[in-house]
Amino acid sequence: MISVAISSALVAAAPPSNPNPAKRLDKCSSMAELKQLHSQIIRLGLSSDNDVMGRAIKFCALSKSGDLVYAHQLFDKMPQPDAFIYNTLIRGYLQCYLARECLILYLRMLQDSVFPNNFTFPSLVRACCIDNWVVEGKQIHAHVVKFGFLNDGFSQNNLLYMYVSFGLLEEARRVFDKMPRRDVVSWTTLISGYSQLGLVNDAYDVFRSMPNRNSATWNAMIAAYVQHNRFHEAFALFNEMRTENVELDRYVIASMLSACTKLGALEQGEWIHGYIKKNDIKMDTKLATTIIDMYCKCGCLEKAFEVFNELPSKGISTWNCMIGGFAMHGRGEVAIEIFKAMEREAAAPDNITFLNVLSACAHSGLVETGRHYFKHMTEVHGLEPRMEHYGCMVDLFGRAGLLEEARKLVEEEMPMEADAGVLGALVGACKIHGNFELGEKFGKRLIELDPNNSGRYVLLANLYATAGKWDDVAKIRRLMNDRGVKKAPGFSVIEMEGMVSEFIAGGRAHPESREIYSKLDEVLERIKSLGYVPDTDGVLQDIDEEEKENPLNHHSEKLAIAFGLLKTKPGQTIRITKNLRVCRDCHQASKLISKAFDREIIVRDRNRFHHFKNGECSCNEF
């Protein structure tokens, strides 16, 4: 009745040439237009009308073209604002992350005896999440109960989200268990909550207990596995999802591409890329960059470059990804050419761009080019070098044997104290080039700077081992034990026919281990005829990569290569991902295997890619 009366009054009052201002409020596009309409509303005597003014306040509070301050001014002049107006203004403050103002407005609402409704509490609950207001959140929860909204799914889902964001899983579970009706949002929120606290098995139990699952729920569980580096479970669930013909959305695709990237699972990544094209899923810049990154890190630069070239427009992240891809594969010259093309297209490079450019120079031994671009980033693009850029230059000089230049950069030229990454590059270079004194000096600083990182201790221990200082090696081991620092175990993975197999040094858990070891014996005999001699000194030095008590011949990458030779056709490329760096012995063995069996073997270790072909490696020992 009220709305009909208002509508009639507006029609009677407004001249035919001037449309109803209440209706025009719903189509308003600017504050200037809103203020003109407001003046008409005042002239029509409707400035106290909740329906009309509610529309004006809604535009001011929620529109991107609105003005929250003006919205509150309109609100203050209302004699009796209703719940809709209060809720609208609360939502406006929530959009601006003004949690305190949300709660103050709610208190005013109660003081004015305006009864909250089911649209009031979700915004208040979210406001409490902004600054982690646990006490206030629990008070709002009590009001949800007090005002009779326990059966409101929207309010309950927001309470569930609130407790999950607080990390209070017991409270979240109580809300969940008492919900009369649970929708997909309820289940997915609880799964994500368990995942955020690292309780992935509990998340899986919730997932399995769901009566009906949609793509969002599958993604929540897959994402939980991916985020916690449980890639095998992620792939198993993804394959189950495919078997059940669940439609893959962009979120599932992004999660699985991330898993493919981490494990180097090219076949799965190619299937996902094909699914995207087959189902006409929009290839925006973000998705395209994710695919390019997957191909780069799965050792397939050609396909990465193909996707890159097909893009009609490229964002900065796409350029950076492609430059970085060629950099990690030791294709420094190509990376530089792409950077030049980027500049020709007037795409402004950022700090990540130059980090990739300098990395490309370091991995390809392009010392003078590196010097040029280190100056270029400041002189041409006005970007000041950060810690990581200095780290690249130290790595560049160190790999090239210019240790004095690297030292001078660290001790005299850097405007900040070198971090562990920079010092690690210098110590690693000292080990490679046999500068014991400089390496020991910075190696000790490195351990004190990063005392919980096993790699720092190992680097210094390897330096001592290279110099034959076994007493000092033993001291480093004891120091690690005393501080409770554990070495990361080494493993290698290989994907065959969509299945990912993982190997550890000397491991026999694989169902075909007998055949794999038999094949490896054959491989070793073959390369011995080409001059292979096991590098036993390397085993003593590389104590971090795989324990020296494991037979040298049974390092994880050798087992993965043997498996690859067993399962692939002659001439087919073998791709392996290793979580640590490749030791010297396996590096030499891989070169000879590529020659003996006429195969290209691509190994991605923690630093870079190694393309072994015809007895050579793409890294050129850099």
Indicate if 509 and 588 belong to the same structural domain.
Answer: yes
The residues near 480 (Cβ < 8 Å, ≥ 6 apart) are 454, 457, 486, 487
Residue 388 has pLDDT above 70, yes or no: yes
Q: What is the pLDDT of residue 540?
A: 45
Q: How many CB atoms lie within 10 A of CB 177?
A: 9
DSSP string, 310-369: H-SS--HHHHHHHHHHHHHTT-HHHHHHHHHHHHHTTPPP-HHHHHHHHHHHHHHT-HHH
With respect to residue 510, please indicate whether it lies within any of the assigned structural domains.
yes
Mean pLDDT of 23-33: 84
User: Could you tell me if 321 and 342 lie in one domain?
Assistant: yes
Q: Do residue 335 and residue 347 come from a single domain? A: yes
> Is residue 71 within 8 Å of residue 89, measured between CB atoms?
yes
Residues 372/338, Cβ–Cβ less than 8 Å:
no
Q: pLDDT-based confidence at 552, cuts 50/70/90?
A: low
Instruction: Please check whether residue 308 lies inside any domain of the structure.
Output: no
Distance CA 394, CA 403 (A): 8
pLDDT at 548 (0 to 100): 45
- How far apart, in whole angstroms, are the C-alpha atoms of residue 517 and residue 496? 18
Q: Which residue has the higher pLDDT, 371 or 49?
A: 371
Q: What is the mean pLDDT of residues 74-92?
A: 93
Identify whether residues 369 and 444 lie together within a single domain: no
Instruction: Look at residue 172 and tell me whether its pLDDT is greater than 90.
Output: yes
Do the domain assignments include residue 540? yes
Burial grade of 596 (CB within 10 A; 0-12, 13-18, 19 or more): middle
What is the dihedral sign for C-alpha 83, 85, 86, 91? positive
> So what's the pLDDT on residue 390?
95
In this prediction, residue 622 carries a pLDDT of: 60
What's the pLDDT tens digit per position in 289-311? 999 999 999 989 999 999 999 99
Return the percentage of the chain with pLDDT > 90, whole number.
56
Check pLDDT > 90 for residue 128. yes
Which structural domain, as residue segments, surrounds residue 437? 386-487
Mean pLDDT value of segment 181-186: 90
Which neighbouring-strand residues pair with 492? Answer: 503, 578
Of 430, 462, 487, the position where a domain reaches its end is 487
In this structure, what DSSP letter does residue 602 have?
E
Q: What are phi and psi of 616, to 5 degrees?
A: -125, 165
Count of domains for the chain: 3
Predicted pLDDT at 6: 33
Q: What is the pLDDT of residue 4?
A: 37
Q: What is the CATH number of the domain that holds 473?
A: 1.25.40.10
Contacts of 8 (CB under 8 A, 6+ apart): none
Alpha carbons 309 and 295: distance in angstroms, whole number: 14
- 276: in domain: no
Query: Can you state the angle between helices 250-263 and 231-243, rounded to 10 degrees?
Result: 140
Residue 262, domain member (yes or no): no
Average pLDDT over residues 483-512: 85
Last residue of a domain, one of 379, 411, 429: 379
Query: What percent of the chain is modeled with pLDDT above 70?
Result: 93
Looking at the structure, tell me whether residues 505 and 539 fall in a common domain.
yes
Domain boundary among 461, 487, 513: 487
Reported as a single tens digit per residue, the pLDDT across 245-267 is 888 888 889 899 999 998 888 88
Q: Residue 551 — very low, low, confident or very high, per pLDDT cuts 50/70/90?
A: low
Is residue 230 in some structural domain?
no
Q: Is 594 exposed, middle or buried (0-12, 13-18, 19+ CB in 10 A)?
A: buried
Asked whether residue 116 is assigned to any structural domain, the reply reads no
Q: Would you state the pLDDT for residue 3?
A: 37
Residue 551 and residue 455 share a domain: no
Task: Indicate whether 398 and 374 sit together in one domain.
Answer: no
Judged by average pLDDT, the poorest of 176-180, 207-211, 462-466 is 462-466
Claim to verify: residue 423 and residue 460 sit in the same structural domain:
yes
Cα–Cα dist 544/487, whole Å: 6
Assess whether 373 and 392 both reside in one domain.
Answer: no
pLDDT in tens, 98-118: 999 999 999 999 999 999 998
Mean pLDDT over all residues of the chain? 88
Query: Is 439 within 8 Å of 452 (Cβ atoms)?
Result: no
State yes or no: pLDDT of 547 exceeds 50.
no
Q: What is the mean pLDDT of residues 536-543?
A: 49
Residue 9 is predicted with a pLDDT of 39
303 in any annotated domain: no
Assign 619 a pLDDT band (cuts: 50, 70, 90). confident
pTM, to two decimals: 0.76
Residues 540 and 575 in one domain: yes
Is 517 in the same domain as 612?
yes
Give residue 237's pLDDT.
Answer: 92
Check pLDDT > 50 for residue 11: no
Claim to verify: residue 496 and residue 428 sit in the same structural domain? no
Strands (E), 362-404: none
